[in-house]
Structure 1
């Protein structure tokens, strides 16, 4: 799981670098790019929350971890809602559709990274 998340983080950093270049070169797209970056930040946070949750469940299944559970899906939904609230409150800085699209990017990157890593191993 760590290898997959690390690969996804590298891909997100490359996308972020590309977005920053576009932000610097195309002033008309700044709100769209900032919305996308906001969504990518929220989506990356969700990936780290999911990794922590999977590690906790794995330790619990092995009998070595705590048996109490956290919020799980609720914290990840709250992160997306926070991104949407920020984009809604500051429409002059963040584009709402771009922020919501950015929230959906990292799960697809995680799927692609898992596919390629598992294909390479087998």
Structure 2
């Protein structure tokens, strides 16, 4: 899981770097690139929250740690809601569709990274 997450985070940083380059060199695409950047940041945070939650559940199921209750899905939804609120509040800075699309990118990157790692192992 750690190798898959490391690969996915590296790919996400490359995507964020592309967004920064687009923001710097294409002024007419600035709102879209900042919206994507905001969504990608939230998407990475959600991936780390989900990873932490999965580790807590597996440790609790194995009997190695206490069963912890938390917000789980609520914290990930709140992150996306915060992105939507920022994009709605500052439409001159962030594009709402780009920000929401950026929030949904990390699961697909994780899926591609898992596929690549499984192909390498077999």
TM-score by length of 2: 0.97
Tell me the residue number matched to 1:78: 78
Residue correspondences, number = 122
Tell me the residue number matched to 2:39: 39
Tell me the residue number matched to 1:16: 16
- Residue 64 of structure 1 aligns to a residue in which SS? coil
The separation in 2 between residues aligned to 1:108 and 1:13, in whole angstroms, is 14
Tell me the residue number matched to 2:121: 121
Deviation at 1:114, TM superposition (A): 0.7
- The reply to whether residue 4 of structure 1 matches residue 4 of structure 2 is yes
The separation in 1 between residues aligned to 2:121 and 2:110, in whole angstroms, is 16
List, as ranges, runs of 4+ consecutive aligned residues in structure 1 with deviation greater than 6 Å: none
Q: Which runs of 5+ in 2 are unaligned?
A: none
Deviation at 1:7, TM superposition (A): 0.7
Query: 1:81-112 deviations in whole A, cap 9, x for unaligned?
Result: 11000100010100000000000111100011
The RMSD of aligned alpha carbons is 0.8
TM-score by length of 1: 0.97
The separation in 1 between residues aligned to 2:107 and 2:90, in whole angstroms, is 26
Query: 1:15-69 deviations in whole A, cap 9, x for unaligned?
Result: 1111111111100100100000000000000000011001101111110112122
Is the 2:56–2:68 Cα contact (8 Å) retained in structure 1? Answer: no
- Residue 117 of structure 1 aligns to a residue in which SS? helix
The separation in 1 between residues aligned to 2:105 and 2:27, in whole angstroms, is 23
